[in-house]
Structure 1
Amino acid sequence: MGATVAIIGRPNVGKSTLFNRLVGKRLALVDDTPGVTRDRRPGEARLGDLRFTVIDTAGLEDAEATSLEGRMRAQTEEAIVESDVVLFVIDARAGVTPLDAYFADVVRKSDKPVILLANKAEGRAGEGGLYEAFALGLGEPVAISAEHGEGLAGLYSALLPFVEQVEEDEQAAADEARFAIELDEDGQDLVPEIAAGTAERPLRVAIVGRPNAGKSTLINRMLGEERMLTGPEAGITRDSISVDWLWRDRHVKLFDTAGIRRKARVQEKLEKLSVADALRAIKFAEVVVVALDATNSFEKQDLQIIELCAREGRALVIAINKWDLIEDREAAWQAIRDAQDRYLNQIRGVAICTLSGLQGQGIDRLMEAVFGAYDVWNTRISTARLNRWLTGILAHHPPPAVQGRRVKLRYMTQAKTRPPHFFVFCSRPEELPESYTRYLVNNLREKFEMPGTPIRLSYRKGDNPFAGKAKQR
């Protein structure tokens, strides 16, 4: 991708709406509440034949550098430094405010090309603010409506000198390459022969957990820069932000997510949107790292998040963060192992790593576990091996008889990977007790060395060869 374009402006002028319009997806959270966006979010934008990277940023506010608003402004200033062009957005209906004038002066001093956008200019209500925008000294304003898609031709003309045009056949090839590394709704690779961890197909890793578990701090330490907004306040992260990272020559796409609280406590609309964004990140990730607070781990909400990831069929790793705060580590580790044995039977053997995101301890061990979990998640077992195993299981522990008749398990095969999904063909599958299914799954996990990954086992009823035939004497 060629040029980088940063969208900046004071809060609630429609920056995220414009970002979504340019990328063609509802990636950024949008709400009437000012200050929804906090981290800077990149996206691949297209406007006609223009292709560029666009960065959504937090609203600019005049605040102390150590405050949350001040740290948000620092993220926006970093986006300006990274960009080739700046889109300075004002609210045409509200007119030019003193805050607009102050930050217009800041942007002017950055020596970056600036395009002034008067958003919400649809109808007559925005005419006054459009004319006032000339006073900012940033050139002729472009009247747009990000919500309704109006004025984009003017934005195209303003961007044309700075952004490279792309031929349609080149863009089609790029779209095909991006499509090739996507996952279908079952988590299956559309082109599975592309190895994960390469530049063409980075491994997708989502980091999730309760609020204030240290997820953003951990990602910052991985990247070696203050890429994510962090602080002592709980619930700082709202959007699910993806960043690219290279670990030991292996390409990884990390997803930082909002903290997930208990459903009963989530009342505000904005938090509901943030949690929904985090749940989407889990669905489209390949490996999910569940970050737990070492000082208060395996709470009920932690277990519900782990269960959700297992239900979605994602490869799973548990990261015990803030390990540097633990004094008696031997006793704490024993408590963790006890909790694992007690609560995590559905993903028995899942990898648990202790680390400190603040100090950078244990990150390599975590990533080794991540790639190990991904390999197990892709396990494929031949049909011959499965049926030899099934024969031994039936000889050692056959299914229980139901109403005097035994359920017959005839044949077994693996239908999918990611996660491993097995089909067993049998008679009367509806009468098999759940306990026997758990027995089969646990034995599968142990025999074929699939620790910690969700395993799905489905039953299929074979056709009755005598169905439909008249009874003969």
Structure 2
Amino acid sequence: MSFTVAIVGRPNVGKSTLFNRLVGKKLALVDDTPGVTRDRRPGDAKLIDLKFTIIDTAGLEEAGPETLEGRMRAQTEAAVDDADLTLFVVDAKFGLTPLDKTFGELLRRSGKPVVLVANKSEARGSDAGFYDAYTLGLGEPVPISAEHGQGMIDLRDAIVEALGEERAFPEADDEAETNIDVRDSDFAGDADEEAEPEYDETKPLRVAIIGRPNAGKSTLINRFLGEDRLLTGPEAGITRDSISVEWEWRDRTIKMFDTAGMRKKARVQEKLEKLSVADALRSIRFAETVVIVFDATIPFEKQDLQLVDLVLREGRAAVLAFNKWDLVEDTQAVLADLREKTERLLPQARGLRAVPISGQTGYGLDKLMQSIIDTDKVWNKRISTARLNRWLDGVQTQHPPPAVSGRRLKLKYMTQVKARPPAFMVSCTRPDALPESYIRYLINGLRADFDIPGVPIRMHFKAGENPFEGRKKKR
């Protein structure tokens, strides 16, 4: 990307709507409620022939630095400092307010290029607000409608004029600008291969951080980054949008998604919280490994268990992080109790990696990252067909399939059809009659004999083809 643009303005002027318009996707949450956006969210924007990085920010408000609004304003100011140009959005329909004039004065004194944007200019009666925007002293306002896409050409021209032709259109490096989607399909590598491929230690890894409200997810990511990148505080439910951040751990690119805290479904009543939860669920589906953050002082609430079950049903690799370990007194006794409860309460993925951490002090973060990498290795694991069939013969000899209605079931052939998560196909007689208990025996045997702990295993059964089916019986 050639340059960075920050979108600022008071709450509810349409900043997130403009952000979504420029990135071409509904990434940022949009609602009529003021103050929906709290963290700064980056995105790859395209405006006619311009390509740049756009940053959506929280609404500017006057508040003390210790308040939530004050911390939101600090995040917005950090975005302005990092940007090459600022889009100052005002509401032409509503008109200017004292807040607009206060923050306009701050931007004018900042010395950075500013483009004044009069949003909602398509509304009836917006002319007065548009002409009033001239009084801010930031030049000619650009009338647009972020909702309907009007005025985008004028906005493009204003950005080019503010930055200059050379800054707006740097010499493009075709190789650098090639967008490669590193998101592997869930069915990548499904071809039948005898070779067991090696794990790629250099491939970028996508990790989602989920948990109940106030479990310490944003604090954990800030500790990983070494800066206050995400908004944190004692209030529960601060995070709303799912924000992605990139950093490197041992020369490997990690893309980490911070998500909104997820409460019990019955308690989620407000539309805005429903949108936040939906955004968090989307992050889980796009992630490869999901870290479920537990509050170590009150672990294994019902919602915690439901979140782990949700991740496993989605087929993601799961790691448990027991946060706030600095508040635990008898660490050895609590750790033994947590391990016992993990095995007992989460039998659907035996061997789940669980790591005690402290996002506040940084304790256990290297161990957590190593557990994430190790779990991702298992999630990507492939086993050759020859080894699987030797194993299948051995487990049937040790514990033959049961007889159903006087006829013994036979498992003939087995192969791995996909990884991420590991999925296997078994050819057998009468697959519908195979008991669940024997399927669990096979899955547990796979985990133990091929070292596949802590990830979901899919096992499908199909009947072998009958070569005589459809042929007439000779008399």
- What's the TM-score once normalised by structure 2's chain length? 0.95
The alignment of Structure 1 onto Structure 2 pairs a total of residues equal to: 467
Is structure 2 residue 72 aligned with structure 1 residue 75?
no
Q: Deviations over 1:380-438 (max 9, x none)?
A: 10000000000001111111111111121100000101111100011111111111111
Distance 2:467 2:171 in 1: 60
Aligned counterparts of 2:129 and 2:189: Cα–Cα separation in 1: 50
1:183–1:284: 8 Å Cα contact kept in structure 2?
A: no
Distance 1:263 1:382 in 2: 42
Task: Look up the equivalent residue of 1:453 and give its one-letter code.
Answer: V
- Is this contact kept in 2: 1:289–1:316, CA < 8 A? yes
| Number of the residue aligned with 1:240 | 242
- Tell me, yes or no, if structure 1 residue 23 matches structure 2 residue 23: yes
Question: Deviation of residue 197 (structure 1)?
Answer: 5.9
> Match of 1:116, SS?
strand
* Amino-acid identity (%): 62
Cα pair distance change 1:112/1:289, threshold 3 Å: same
Indicate the residue corresponding to 1:54 in structure 2.
54
Provide Cα deviations, 1:258-293, integer angstroms capped at 9, x if missing partner: 001110110000000000100011000011111000
1:232-256 deviation per Cα after TM superposition (whole angstroms, max 9, x unaligned): 0000000000001111211101110
- Aligned partner (choices 312, 315, 318) of residue 313 of structure 1: 315
Contact 2:5/2:86, CA 8 A, preserved across alignment: yes
Kindly provide the amino acid, as one letter, of the partner of residue 295 in structure 1: T
SS of 1:178's equivalent?
A: coil
SS of the residue corresponding to residue 160 of structure 1 reads helix
The letter of the residue matching 2:111 is: D
The answer (yes or no) to whether the contact 2:13–2:119 under 8 Å persists in 1 is yes
Listed as ranges, the matches of 1:145-156 within 5 Å are 145-156=145-156
Q: Do the aligned partners of residues 324 and 19 (structure 1) sit closer, same or farther apart at CA in structure 2, a change above 3 Å counting?
A: same
What amino acid is the match of 2:341?
A: A
Cα contact 1:37–1:238 (8 A) shared by 2:
yes
- Tell me, in whole angstroms, the C-alpha distance in 1 between the residues paired with 2:28 and 2:223: 24
Letter in 2 for 1:114: V
**Which of 283, 286, 292 is residue 285 of structure 2 equivalent to?**
283
Change (3 A) 1:189 1:109: farther
Deviation at 1:178, TM superposition (A): 2.4
Secondary structure in 1 matching 2:125: coil
Aligned CA distance change for structure 1 residues 418 and 394 (closer, same or farther; 3 Å): same
Query: Matched residues in 2 for 1:111 and 1:213: separation?
Result: 40
Give the structure 2 partner of residue 345 of structure 1.
347
Among candidates 295, 313, 318, match of residue 293 of structure 1 = 295
Gaps of at least 5 residues in structure 2 are 191-196
Q: Tell me if the contact between 2:189 and 2:419 (Cα under 8 Å) persists in the aligned partners.
A: no
- Counterpart residue identity of residue 87, structure 2: L
Q: CA RMSD in A?
A: 2.0
TM alignment of 1:117-128, pairs within 5 A: 117-128=117-128
Is the partner of 2:220 in helix, strand or coil? helix
The DSSP-based 3-state class of the residue aligned with 1:121 is coil
Structure 1 residues 340-397: Cα deviation after superposition (integer angstroms, max 9, x where no partner)? 1211111100111001000011100000001000111111100000000000011111
The structure 1 residue matched to 2:359, chosen from 357, 360, 364, is 357
The answer as to 2:166 corresponding to 1:165 is no
Mapped to 1, the partners of 2:201 and 2:238 lie a distance apart of 29
Whether the 8 Å contact between 2:389 and 2:413 is mirrored in structure 1 is yes
Summarize the alignment of residues 90-109 of structure 1 with structure 2, pairs less than 5 Å apart.
Answer: 90-109=90-109
**Counterpart residue type for residue 183 of structure 1:** D
Q: Which amino acid aligns with 1:135?
A: T
Q: Offset of 1:183 from its aligned partner?
A: 3.1
Check the 8 A contact 1:196/1:203 in 2, yes or no: no
Q: Partners in 1 of 2:294 and 2:383 — Cα distance? A: 33
Structure 2 CA distance for aligned equivalents of residues 333 and 50 of structure 1: 54
Q: Measure the CA separation in 2 of the matches of 1:195 and 1:37.
A: 38
Contact kept in structure 1, 2:409 and 2:428, CA below 8 Å: yes
Q: Structure 1: any 5+ residue segments left out of the alignment? A: none
1:167 Cα deviation from its structure 2 partner = 8.7
Query: How many angstroms apart in 1 are the aligned matches of 2:335 and 2:198?
Result: 38
Letter in 1 for 2:151: G
Q: In structure 2, what is the equivalent of residue 142 of structure 1?
A: 142
Contact 1:197 1:252 (C-alpha < 8 Å) held by counterparts: no
In 1, the alpha carbon distance for the partners of 2:173 and 2:67 equals: 48
Are 1:302 and 2:304 matched, yes or no?
Answer: yes
User: What secondary structure, in the 3-state scheme, does the structure 1 residue paired with 2:17 have?
Assistant: helix
1-side partners of 2:157 and 2:39: how far apart? 29
Map of 2:193 onto structure 1: none
Q: Could you tell me how far apart the structure 1 residues matched to 2:370 and 2:126 are?
A: 55
Deviation at 1:127, TM superposition (A): 1.1
Would you say the 8 A contact 2:93–2:124 is kept in 1?
A: no
Q: How does 1:422-461 map to 2 (within 5 A)?
A: 422-461=424-463
In 1, Cα distance between equivalents of 2:89 and 2:364: 43
Deviation at 1:194, TM superposition (A): 12
